[in-house]
Amino acid sequence: MSWLPEDFEHPVHEPVLDGYHLRPIRAADTEIDYPAVMGSRERLWSMYGLPWSWPPATMTVEQDREDLARHEREIEAHQSFNYALLDTAEQALHGCVYIDPPERPGADADISWWVVDALAGTTVEAALDAFVPKWIAERWRFAQPRYPGRELSWEEWLALPE
């Protein structure tokens, strides 16, 4: 049984702000995903290391490609969603948004996101921070979305019963 209604159609292109949009990530994005992730690895590890052990310091391009292929399959099956934050030309990946079924009670989705180091603290990050909760409320069918790493810490999230 899916965690989303049978007739749910996931968004395929969402403008975030002028020059940036979200779309489902694909294995073909590896060449732009890998430098974005590894170029921001320390900050991403500070965010996702505890809950996901990601991104590992030794991640290879091929491991990233395998990970993105898994995300692509999960998106197609509506098991979870990984959206890439891209520029208009889609020549660079600037961040990601994750929409996952809850692993712990108290929510019907767990949502998190990040931007690359170069955009941390910028208007792009502020726009994404404002956009995601609004987008979730307006476009997705969740009654109780949860934002680990934002409305509660990852430590608090991990302390919830599984």
The 10s digit of each residue's pLDDT in 117-140 is: 999 999 999 999 999 999 999 999
What residue has token string 């109780």?
144
Give the Cα separation of 93 and 25 in Å (integer): 10
In this predicted structure, the answer to whether residue 2 has a pLDDT above a threshold of 70 is: no
**Closest to 111 (Cα-Cα) out of 130, 128, 129, 98:** 98
- For the chain, give every domain's residue range: 14-159
Q: Which CATH superfamily is domain 14-159 in?
A: Gcn5-related N-acetyltransferase (GNAT) (3.40.630.30)
Q: Look at residue 3 in the predicted model and tell me its pLDDT.
A: 86
* pTM for the model: 0.96
Question: C-alpha angle 106/135/12, rounded to 5°?
Answer: 110
What is the token pair recorded at 28? Answer: 């073909």
In this predicted structure, the answer to whether residue 48 has a pLDDT above a threshold of 60 is: yes
Phi, psi of 145 (to 5 degrees): -70, 150
Element (H, E) at 154: helix 154-159
What whole-number percentage of the chain has pLDDT above 70? 99
Q: Look at residue 5 in the predicted model and tell me its pLDDT.
A: 87
Give the Cα separation of 23 and 122 in Å (integer): 21
Task: Please report the beta strands in 28-125, taking only residues with DSSP state E, as ranges in sequence order.
Answer: 81-87, 93-100, 109-115
Query: Cβ(24)–Cβ(81) under 8 Å?
Result: yes
The mean per-residue pLDDT over the stretch 65-91 comes to 97
Rg of the chain in Å (alpha carbons): 15
What whole-number percentage of the chain has pLDDT above 90? 95
Residue 135 CA: distances (Å) to CA of 14, 91, 156 = 9, 24, 24
